[in-house]
Structure 1
């Protein structure tokens, strides 16, 4: 009886305590059903957060720091007196002049604005034909009448609008718009661009999310806001969209208006986010973090450039001491260490090359496309022999003028050729392709030369090795580009010579590997869009116009290992800047521009794929 009495007393005390808590005037009463809902919300939130690995993105590099320049997205961006009654000199407004529809814009370069889910664009299916829309800009330019009557017209000619999808439907939409105008905008004290964020994901110190202040724009004036840890915006029901956004959002407190989030750091203003949603906890608002989309914004923006992110290289495929194929990478000793002679001058090409000694590049192949009646093109691309059955080339070389993949049976391969003007050379070996393997990531219709690599397979037992025909080795050293930056390798080919015609004698050039930073800095706008670290790299001598040229595509970029006395394939001639020249005969020719680095597909990024496609390659060591 005593034990039973004690249990009842304890139960009554617990019940009395619960009633007391539930009846407090300053606290909410939680009923059983609501408690169950809270538990379910907490479970959803926990599952959402556990399924998203938090990573800190590196800061964008707009200016290479070694050049002692500020890392700003545009020169002198983000300067402003921060008047509380104005909206900033970067603010713009698009107006269609018909039904009163407007759209708030932010100026980010001398030719580019950005906006978020602009309703004005819904009537334009073709983003390259935006007509009847005017853009006004300057401080206090948010309300339509202010812009139209108190601020000057910036432009009535919009060249194009690019759409960047953020991957999930938000309360306001799912698209960032990049507006490009066709004339450069003249800046003034009341009209200048804002900076894109140039720091890491949340702050600067040890990846810890700190509280800092920003400004929200969108109501005709600025409002101070306090940025909080992202988890604070997940106190209520976690929708799929909110969960998908986790890790890509910002959370603010003490704000009930505004559509654009701006951060003031070091006396400059940076565009940081665009409104995503009001959260179930009304104290907080959630914003799309623009940092994950900076690369896409820059790529679509005229006048902006950013060093592409440099990822870690792929895991090395190690062939061991035997290398990728027995006997690969060796050449005849005669003339092996011949230095550049008087022909190595600014007037000679690969661009700026010299005649190769016969047998000096026994792995080099010429590709020929045949029709039913005979050859359509002579030596239109190069390639590199890497085994008895496999040749590596650029993917773009295997497509015809109609952008169709060439049939394997109509692709000819010539090995051992030195003088293309002589139809019969004892050293030549001719074959037809058996199989063509284009890298699955390559898309010829895009024309962006991404994953520009392919493998050609020959029939077994056809190739005969000798002094003039021998494979080079696949790369078997460290994959980090920094380990070979500023070192030299060589390319060969029958590309354009100084008269802008194909060479007869095989040409050879020594080229320097450029670091990713040096390549990007040499032509920021071009290489911010076309350099893809670990997928490709730059090489050449722009100062004296030494480069691979038109007709050299697909050829190999090889390095000599002094210790092993072997040549190794590191790159494939892919693409570069072009120019149009006029020959002595008055003919217009589109050719390479050797004043800039050329791009080479980095074979280390595709080594596992190459090993899987080449049937007679040495098995990598485990």
Structure 2
């Protein structure tokens, strides 16, 4: 009888322990769903981590891709040459904007979720980039109409999307890395450079932003960089999802001047010398402040999934 009582006690203890574990997981899930004040984030006012400068090549320019980031930004070349559009062949309304980072790699932001699912179902995607062959050629030109502005991208005929990988951004949806067949590059079709410095002098940089139509604007007030603590970009939220707290430490926050001609600026860019570099992806947008996830945080993952891009030891 005593033996049976002991067995029953063990079973009862195991059930109680299991119930406590489930309760704890349930509490954690509830906490994740709750909104908290930014000042309650564990990372609030915590100094941003230092990120080492990526080394892509051993030459003097240390570029992610040869001749990347070149942009005349005038006349017919005014549209950013790294701008790409992926379009579902079965539904042209299902499309997403992206950026070319090598002759075989395109990255797109979380807005490309529906295109991703379409591709995973087996639908082919058309790739549009560079100038249209003819201004009125609807067969080779893909157009967008928005706020009295037209954006035309040429069809890259014969090009195929081969594969896609997902990178989990901190506190945010995914970054999509697409592998395509090799492109023939030109002045109107050029990859952007990936950032090749550490983050120790971020407050000294001159930033500008680019929206999905390739329009760009300087983000600095009085033509000066106005870099502020990342938590400042989230103060206006008052209450925020707890998982966004982690993103604060890895964000770039700027006080900015508003530009009514620019739509929500997806990409944060830096110009250094004659080259343009991709630095971050938009997380928060208002009239006064904007925040971007610093791509230095995910640079190793981005390079690992990219084709014709490598990182080497310093």
TM-score (norm 1): 0.37
Shift of 1:42: 7.2
Measure, in 2, the Cα distance between the counterparts of 1:276 and 1:150.
Answer: 26
Tell me what 1:76 maps to. Answer: 67
The correspondence of residues 166-181 of structure 1 with structure 2, limited to 5 A, is: 166-169=169-172, 174-181=173-180
Shift of 1:154: 5.1
1:271 to 259, 268, 278: 278
Q: Indicate whether 1:157 and 2:149 are aligned.
A: no
Q: Indicate whether 1:225 and 2:219 are aligned.
A: yes
Tell me what 2:235 maps to. Answer: 235
Q: Describe the SS at the equivalent of 1:77.
A: coil
Shift of 1:263: 1.1
Tell me what 2:190 maps to. Answer: 192
Deviations 1:332-386 (A, max 9, x none): xxxxxxxxxxxxxxxxxxxxxxxxxxxxxxxxxxxxxxxxxxxxxxxxxxxxxxx
Contact 1:90 1:139 in 2 (8 A): no
Tell me what 2:305 maps to. Answer: 300
Deviations 1:398-441 (A, max 9, x none): xxxxxxxxxxxxxxxxxxxxxxxxxxxxxxxxxxxxxxxxxxxx
Measure, in 2, the Cα distance between the counterparts of 1:155 and 1:56.
Answer: 43
User: Structure 1 residues 113, 71: CA separation in 2 closer, same or farther (over 3 Å shift)?
Assistant: same
Contact 1:130 1:160 in 2 (8 A): no
Tell me what 1:108 maps to. Answer: 101
Measure, in 2, the Cα distance between the counterparts of 1:98 and 1:82.
Answer: 34
Contact 1:77 1:194 in 2 (8 A): yes
Contact 1:136 1:155 in 2 (8 A): no
User: Structure 1 residues 154, 89: CA separation in 2 closer, same or farther (over 3 Å shift)?
Assistant: farther
Deviations 1:567-594 (A, max 9, x none): xxxxxxxxxxxxxxxxxxxxxxxxxxxx
User: Structure 1 residues 255, 228: CA separation in 2 closer, same or farther (over 3 Å shift)?
Assistant: farther
Measure, in 2, the Cα distance between the counterparts of 1:241 and 1:149.
Answer: 38
Measure, in 2, the Cα distance between the counterparts of 1:164 and 1:42.
Answer: 25
User: Which structure 2 residue ranges, 5 or more long, are not aligned?
Assistant: 1-35, 133-140, 145-149, 221-225
Deviations 1:10-35 (A, max 9, x none): xxxxxxxxxxxxxxxxxxxxxxxxxx
Shift of 1:189: 1.0
User: Structure 1 residues 300, 145: CA separation in 2 closer, same or farther (over 3 Å shift)?
Assistant: same
Measure, in 2, the Cα distance between the counterparts of 1:125 and 1:192.
Answer: 24
Measure, in 1, the Cα distance between the counterparts of 2:63 and 2:214.
Answer: 27
Measure, in 2, the Cα distance between the counterparts of 1:200 and 1:157.
Answer: 35
Contact 1:54 1:247 in 2 (8 A): yes
Equivalenced residue count is 250
Q: Describe the SS at the equivalent of 2:97.
A: strand
Deviations 1:164-206 (A, max 9, x none): 011423xxxx101111013x11111111110001111252xxx
Q: Indicate whether 1:59 and 2:53 are aligned.
A: yes
The correspondence of residues 393-432 of structure 1 with structure 2, limited to 5 A, is: none
Contact 2:268 2:280 in 1 (8 A): yes
Deviations 1:257-306 (A, max 9, x none): 32112111111101111111236xx4112112111111111110110001
1:214 to 202, 208, 211: 208
Tell me what 1:402 maps to. Answer: none
Q: Describe the SS at the equivalent of 1:232.
A: helix
Tell me what 1:285 maps to. Answer: 290
Measure, in 2, the Cα distance between the counterparts of 1:138 and 1:273.
Answer: 23
User: Structure 1 residues 119, 270: CA separation in 2 closer, same or farther (over 3 Å shift)?
Assistant: same
User: Which structure 1 residue ranges, 5 or more long, are not aligned?
Assistant: 1-39, 308-515, 518-622
1:138 to 124, 130, 143: 130
Shift of 1:150: 5.5
The correspondence of residues 283-432 of structure 1 with structure 2, limited to 5 A, is: 283-307=288-312
Contact 2:87 2:115 in 1 (8 A): no
Measure, in 1, the Cα distance between the counterparts of 2:153 and 2:175.
Answer: 28
Q: Describe the SS at the equivalent of 1:119.
A: helix
Tell me what 2:44 maps to. Answer: 49
Moved more, 68-77 or 233-242: 233-242
Measure, in 1, the Cα distance between the counterparts of 2:131 and 2:248.
Answer: 34
Contact 2:179 2:307 in 1 (8 A): yes
Shift of 1:210: 3.1
TM-score (norm 2): 0.70
Contact 2:82 2:190 in 1 (8 A): yes
Higher helix residue share: 2
Measure, in 2, the Cα distance between the counterparts of 1:176 and 1:149.
Answer: 24
Q: Describe the SS at the equivalent of 1:296.
A: helix
Contact 1:91 1:139 in 2 (8 A): no
Measure, in 2, the Cα distance between the counterparts of 1:150 and 1:246.
Answer: 35
The correspondence of residues 496-515 of structure 1 with structure 2, limited to 5 A, is: none
Tell me what 1:246 maps to. Answer: 248
Shift of 1:246: 1.5
Measure, in 1, the Cα distance between the counterparts of 2:39 and 2:100.
Answer: 42
Contact 1:86 1:139 in 2 (8 A): no
